[in-house]
Structure 1
Amino acid sequence: DQVNRKIESYVKQYVICEKCGRPDTKIAQEGDFVFLVCEACGAKQPIKKV
């Protein structure tokens, strides 16, 4: 249903690391930019502000 799709979209964009697929991430702001930083593999990817 629509709620599940919204939750899956949020998790994919703001929780799961694109590089390794793990949920061990945190959101970090550097100046005007916001990144999803993976604590498992060290990847850093830009994200839209929540």
Structure 2
Amino acid sequence: MRASTINAAYALRQERHTGSIEPGKRADLVILDRNQIRQATVRHTHGPSGD
């Protein structure tokens, strides 16, 4: 999970804006009813600036 959240934010130099759940940070949340890690697909829908 860290690889796709905070570590990715550090790689994009966006850790001040995204990558963890904190007041003032942007977040897209997906809540699942079971473990989907093995079936997860990552889709990049916009750039780090929200484009």
Give the TM-score normalised by the residue count of structure 2: 0.25
Question: Which structure exhibits the higher relative contact order, with contacts defined as CA atoms closer than 8 Å and separated by 6 or more residues?
Answer: 1
Give the TM-score normalised by the residue count of structure 1: 0.26
**Normalized per residue, which structure has more strand?**
1
